[in-house]
Amino acid sequence: MPILNKDMTLCISLAARPSNIGTRFHNYLYDQLGLNYVYKAFAPADLAQAIAGVRGLPIRGCAVSMPYKEEVIALVDRMDPSAKAIESVNTIVNDDGVLTAYNTDYLAIARLLRDHRVPATHSVLLRGSGGMAKAVAAALRDAGFSDVTVVARNEATGRALADLYDFAWQAEPGTSTADLLINVTPLGMSGQDEDVQSFGDDAVAAARVVFDVVALPAETPLIAAARAAGKPVITGAEVIAIQAEEQFVLYTGVRPTPEQVREASEFSRS
């Protein structure tokens, strides 16, 4: 990383539970590509003030994580179609004080479903109804999945998401099973819920593929249970690498090679 200087471009992330994954990913690539950039993670005390800081300093790029992906919409100037279509933001780009919101989560989910060759005929239990769940639901719909049940304790947001894509809704997983399990909640994330397995052992045993978008820790209780049961898994580490790559391109205008992305992803977790 170059020595801090007045011409250095700053990019940041805003999350309730910041991690070093994005910080290490972006800074690794800045160093490898010789870019005069630096990336720093923050837990905002006040979201509106934080976004005002992005606009006023000016900060070039801002990643947005749970639980701010919907709240931040009112604070930006423009919504790219990738964010507007699902009313959820994970990336903000600052062009001379004009803030444009994007969503690279959708791109990551769509690519992973395709790369892992998950059949659209699979039934799905999607646990969660927040901003990331919207990206996942949209990617499922666009990939041709139709037998999808949104599992969300919040009936208002859960039903709204399900109705948007003509999916089903239920409050709790209960004894339900499906071919594809997807967790899009903080259950299993480092912190107060890190020991919670978002789907029970019976559901894991009945599944054909298990997908957890939680990126920290690298192996959540759900992923650990799926591996123990011999199930194919898709992890949050894969999600964060792809969405971070797309953020990197938006911030810098430079696309790293697949090998550089792989190395940066490995470094971010080392």
Q: Does residue 69 carry a catalytic annotation?
A: yes
Element (H, E) at 233: strand 233-234
Cα(first)–Cα(last) distance of the chain, in Å?
17
Report the helix count and the strand count for the chain, using DSSP H and E: 10, 12
| Given 40, 69, 84, 231, the catalytic residue | 69
CA distances from residue 210 to 33, 199, 203 in whole angstroms, order as listed:
35, 10, 10
Contact 51, 72 (CB under 8 A): yes
Contact 54, 46 (CB under 8 A): no
Close Cβ partners of 116 (under 8 Å, ≥ 6 residues apart): 209, 232, 234
Contact 181, 164 (CB under 8 A): no
Residues noted as catalytic: 69
